[in-house]
Amino acid sequence: MFFLGIAIQGLLLRRVAASVIPSDAQWAELNQTVGGRLYTSLPLAASCFSTVNGSPSTPNATECAMVQQGYTQPDFRSTHYSAHMLPQWETCQSTVQRCLLNSNDPSDPTAWEDNECWQGAIASRYIDVRSEDDVLAALSFVNETGIQFSIKASGHDYKGRSSFGSLSLWTRNLDSLNYSAVFLPEGGNETYPAITIGAGVPFEDVYAFAEENNITVVGGYHQTIAASGGWVQAGGHSILSPIYGLGVDRVLQYKIVTLDGVLRTVNKFQNSDLFWALRGGAGSTFGVVLESTMLVEPQMSLRVAAISFNQTADNARGFLELLVNNSYKWGQEGWGGHMGPASLINVNPLLTLEEAQASVQPIVDYALAQNGTAVVEDLASWQTFFAKYVESAEASVGVQTILGSRLIPTDPFFTDDDGKEALVDLMVKMVDTYAVNPYIIQGTPFLYNYTEGTTSVTPAWRNSLWQIGFHENMLYNATLETMYAQYEIVNNITSWMRELAPDSGAYFNEANPYEPDHEVTFWGDNYPALLELKNKYDPFKLLDCWMCVGWQGPADERYSCYLNISTDY
């Protein structure tokens, strides 16, 4: 029986149970309450294996073939509950229990012939959430049973925060999309052109919808990130952010069921403390967001520069120097983009085509001198640009990938000769020492007119010009020893970046899973107030996640699948 107080907007939870294992009858009752949409889960590739979770299993060749085909496709992954974009978060890394295919060749039978399939980090049960009632029922159940739960939208998380637990709330099918030219936040008196996006909608659908409505939505550089999921709760950079701000700058309202069991409309007029917290405090912390409403821009044409050449030991430094020397000017001109030692895809909505060509001429010349290619063109809309350039250039999925990153302050790294040289040296050292390329994102809100104190992301976003990230890929069958060695490389590079810019911070969504001093790195001075709000809206600590606000620390039993890697470096 549930002991619940009834609040005006929803179910007000009271702490009921210490952790117990729910009975079959309790699960059955939950299933009934959520309309039969409580499911048990198996790993994505389970149909390929003849031993699953320790028991004999009959492989299903048809299903296995489908999984092989979709293995590295974001659309396939995002529509399957058990799949995560970075498959290590489907696995138990510490025990090396997993159920993966070879991402370099998903049809390689060695993957399932030589291995058993294990559940790993995938929550054993999930609810296919379709409404706030499902969320309220789930929270009531969690409160009653004390079980650990998680929230998953697309599974893009780089740190496993949408994995684990006995129950997961899968929001992928909260798929509503609405545009209003006169959106009025509840309690407000001013209207805005805005789009309201259900918690599961991938950016590719948002962009197609925006195109139909002649508007531009400022969003991420990947098809399947959930626009109203982790992206808009922890920062949300776009290559249009230099002019139009981060996702958290543009959000006007959230609808959320907070972890005390209350459905709330959150904006600057009501629940304003929570509005601030959600604008940077990150996902899986304060509740289950049902939708967010974001400001939109009119449809805009874009000047696009797309440059690439074959990288060699001799030509990377020269290109990186050009990037560092030009980026401040490009920032002032409104460029944003993704760059590396031998490539660049940048966009600009402010310059004319002639101005854009002149602006990037030095790197065009450089690329052509390396027998590379360079295009500077005018495209009609964000959607046109996205389809032409991003879908083929976005970060790979289906591959075990560890990430690290740091926000790089404008001053001194783009304003001072010594600063510039130190930055180039760091990037060249990454390449020379570990053959790891810097992944440069000019996606900080460089020209955006920020109102101080309105968001809770690290203030480092506001005085940085770049985020430098990097990827380290692990083979599907990496041994424990190899995994530790690869995390060590990531930690080494992270420490170089921290030494270079010790007072800066990192983007919570795209940081090293073993980032030192995470409270300061991800939130700076905002952390104490965020912690207070975590305690207010999650009084019974129903939700905890790795390095999130209020994190209970790595020793908690739910983190037993993470590797035992020190963050003291």
Ligand X SMILES: Cc1cc2nc3c(=O)[nH]c(=O)nc-3n(C[C@H](O)[C@H](O)[C@H](O)COP(=O)(O)OP(=O)(O)OC[C@H]3O[C@@H](n4cnc5c(N)ncnc54)[C@H](O)[C@@H]3O)c2cc1C
Tokens standing for residue 61: 């060749």
Does 471 sit near ligand X (CB under 6 A)? no
Give all strands (DSSP E) within 296-384, no chain letters. Answer: 297-298, 302-308, 336-340, 343-348, 373-379
Does 156 sit near ligand X (CB under 6 A)? yes
Number of residues assigned to the chain: 569
3-state secondary structure of 317: helix
First to last CA, the chain: 49
Cβ closest to ligand X, residue 248 vs residue 351: 248
Cβ 80 to ligand X shortest distance, Å: 13
The site map against ligand X for 169-188 (x = CB under 6 A) is --x-----------------
Tokens standing for residue 566: 């020190």
- Taking CB under 6 A as the binding criterion, the range among 154-162, 412-420, 426-434, 511-519 that sits at the site for ligand X is 154-162
Beta strand 125-128 pairing with 167-170:
parallel
Cβ closest to ligand X, residue 87 vs residue 185: 87
Task: List residues bridging with 343 in a β-sheet.
Answer: 308, 340
**What are the distances in angstroms from CA 412 to CA 421, 423, 460, 498?**
10, 10, 14, 15
Does 231 sit near ligand X (CB under 6 A)? yes
| Number of shown-chain residues binding ligand X (CB under 6 A) | 35
Residues 121-150 that bind ligand X (CB under 6 A): 150
- Taking CB under 6 A as the binding criterion, the range among 61-69, 112-120, 284-292, 309-317 that sits at the site for ligand X is 284-292
Does 155 sit near ligand X (CB under 6 A)? yes
Cβ 75 to ligand X shortest distance, Å: 13
Question: Cα 121 from chain centroid?
Answer: 18
From candidates 10, 43, 236, 469, binder to ligand X by CB under 6 A:
236
Burial of 451 (0-12, 13-18, 19+ CB in 10 A): exposed
Q: CA 78, CA 82: separation in Å to the nearest integer?
A: 9
CA angle 293, 521, 273 (to 5 degrees): 40
From candidates 98, 161, 518, 534, binder to ligand X by CB under 6 A:
161
Q: Which DSSP state fits 8?
A: S
User: How many Cβ atoms from other residues are within 10 Å of residue 130's Cβ?
Assistant: 17
From candidates 277, 288, 305, 351, binder to ligand X by CB under 6 A:
288
From candidates 509, 512, 521, 526, binder to ligand X by CB under 6 A:
509
Does 253 sit near ligand X (CB under 6 A)? no
Does 153 sit near ligand X (CB under 6 A)? yes
Q: Which amino acid, 505?
A: G
Does 303 sit near ligand X (CB under 6 A)? no
The values of phi and psi at residue 288, to 5°, are -110, 110
Does 399 sit near ligand X (CB under 6 A)? no
Does 207 sit near ligand X (CB under 6 A)? no
Does 225 sit near ligand X (CB under 6 A)? yes
Does 510 sit near ligand X (CB under 6 A)? yes
Q: CA 53, CA 51: separation in Å to the nearest integer?
A: 7
Where on the chain is the footprint of ligand X (CB under 6 A)? 85, 150-158, 161-162, 171, 199, 220-222, 225-226, 229-231, 234-237, 283-284, 288-289, 395, 397, 509-510, 545
